[in-house]
Structure 1
Amino acid sequence: MKASLVVDDGFIYEEEKLLTVLKTSLFFANDGFTVYDCNGQLVFRVDSYGPDTRDRGEVVLMDAQGRCLLTVRRKRPSLHHRWEGYMGDGSDAKKPVFSVRRSSIIGRCSVAVEVYGNPGEEYQIEGNFGQRSCSIFDAEKKVVAEIRRKVDSSTNVVLGKDVFSLCLKPGFDGAFAMGLVLILDQTSGDDYVENDGTDVQPTAAD
């Protein structure tokens, strides 16, 4: 697979990697995430303590030790709910490394990802994040990551939407993928998805 944007090469795996993402609502919706590998080791975390401590249009992804890996920030003003990603904590006004916006595809919840400084590298996210069922495709239409409902292996019961799986294909940066998850969480509600300013009920993913 063609090399993707690398936020941190420590999160690129030679084999398929399955992560468990836990959404933690501390005080308000979208407050935080913790991400674990199959051994229960913490991989990523996102902490926020309400709207007064951080702009709600900005979310920072950290590793297990609290090091800032990536900052995703809403672009204002913008159409199609455009968000941009910055390396690190985003405090030094660097240029963004990628942008994310909704695509106008009738009957499908689709999101376009453009990587700056790397011509030809782009991604499409299709499906329904609110229902935890969507896939990330590269420019060659190959799946590089998937978001799925998590099933308890001991009881075969589908868990709630606050716990879901992020499946990374070999060679795709997990930090970049998790940055896209954060943006999807900010732009997609659990019960409705927004399409060009109109709330519509989500449809089942293909």
Structure 2
Amino acid sequence: MGGATNITVPVVSKIYCFSSQTTLMVRRRPRLVNGGGFVVMNSNQNLVFKVDGCGILGIKGELILRDGDGAPILFIRKKGGVVQALSAHNRWNSYLMDYEEPSKLVFSLREPKLRLLTKNSIKISNDTDGKNKDWSFEVKGSFIKRACTINDRRGNVVAQVGLKEMVANKDFYHVVVQPGYDQAFVIGVIAILDNIHGESTRC
């Protein structure tokens, strides 16, 4: 059992994989005051991630995940074009930031346009060429209700989103990331879910 915590599953980078379970607190920023998006704190109340969306970047369907010091980690963009318009899914691509510019594709998320079809859950692929239609992770449950999980292909829970006890406010919620999984990847997925559901990262 002890060996399980030594397994790391990096998607963005192994530097964001920790050997113990981590609880992160997400707090949405007011659109009118500082452009929206959200910040992520650890249990010591230290800022570990920040997400900028349309209110700051000024472009719909684009997000930037930053570390606690403000350095960009991921550039996330909703794919457009005629092919995408005709597809049954919306696709979001997430790229590593290299010298302030998007570089390598690290994961893509497929969101079914008809979410009423329960079998069409949100799937995430971490292939690097973007051509593989297979998936490695999926989102289950309701992000709007702050009751969802990110699971791997074997059904293991990677991270769980929930409301903080005693706080009846969806602007402040927690994300529990299991040992060995990539926290930057998890927050990148949550940034996309936030945008899909028209929350803090949308204009």
TM-score normalized by the length of structure 2: 0.79
Correspondence 1:137 to 2:151: yes
Paired with 1:108 and 1:29, the residues of 2 have a C-alpha distance of 38
Question: Which residue of structure 1 lines up, in the alignment, with residue 68 of structure 2?
Answer: 64
Pick one of 35, 59, 63 that aligns with 1:55.
59
Q: Quick check: 1:30–1:186 contact (8 Å CA) kept in 2?
A: no
Decide whether aligned partners of structure 1 residues 30 and 178 sit closer, same or farther in structure 2, where only a CA change above 3 A counts: farther
Q: Percent identity?
A: 30
2:29 maps to a residue whose letter is T
Greater relative contact order (CA < 8 Å, ≥ 6 in sequence) = 2
Question: Which residue of structure 2 lines up, in the alignment, with residue 9 of structure 1?
Answer: 14
Correspondence 1:127 to 2:141: yes
Q: How does 1:102-113 map to 2 (within 5 A)?
A: 102-103=111-112, 106-107=117-118, 110-113=121-124
Paired with 1:81 and 1:158, the residues of 2 have a C-alpha distance of 33
Give ranges in structure 2 of 5+ residues lacking alignment. none
Correspondence 1:81 to 2:90: yes
2:123 maps to a residue whose letter is A
Shift of 1:88: 1.3
Q: Quick check: 2:75–2:102 contact (8 Å CA) kept in 1?
A: no
Name which of structure 1's ranges 120-129 and 25-34 shifts more when overlaid on structure 2. 25-34
Shift of 1:96: 2.0
Shift of 1:106: 2.6
Q: How does 1:176-191 map to 2 (within 5 A)?
A: 176-189=185-198
Paired with 2:36 and 2:58, the residues of 1 have a C-alpha distance of 11
> How many corresponding residue pairs?
184
TM-score normalized by the length of structure 1: 0.78
Decide whether aligned partners of structure 1 residues 107 and 7 sit closer, same or farther in structure 2, where only a CA change above 3 A counts: closer
Question: Which residue of structure 1 lines up, in the alignment, with residue 175 of structure 2?
Answer: 166
Correspondence 1:150 to 2:164: yes
Q: Considering only aligned residues, what root-mean-square deviation do their CA atoms show, in Å?
A: 2.8
Correspondence 1:116 to 2:130: no
Decide whether aligned partners of structure 1 residues 139 and 30 sit closer, same or farther in structure 2, where only a CA change above 3 A counts: farther
Decide whether aligned partners of structure 1 residues 135 and 29 sit closer, same or farther in structure 2, where only a CA change above 3 A counts: farther
Pick one of 82, 98, 118 that aligns with 2:107.
98
Higher percent of residues as helix: 2
2:117 maps to a residue whose letter is I
CA deviation profile, 1:94-118 (whole Å, cap 9, x unmatched): 3422110124673467210011149
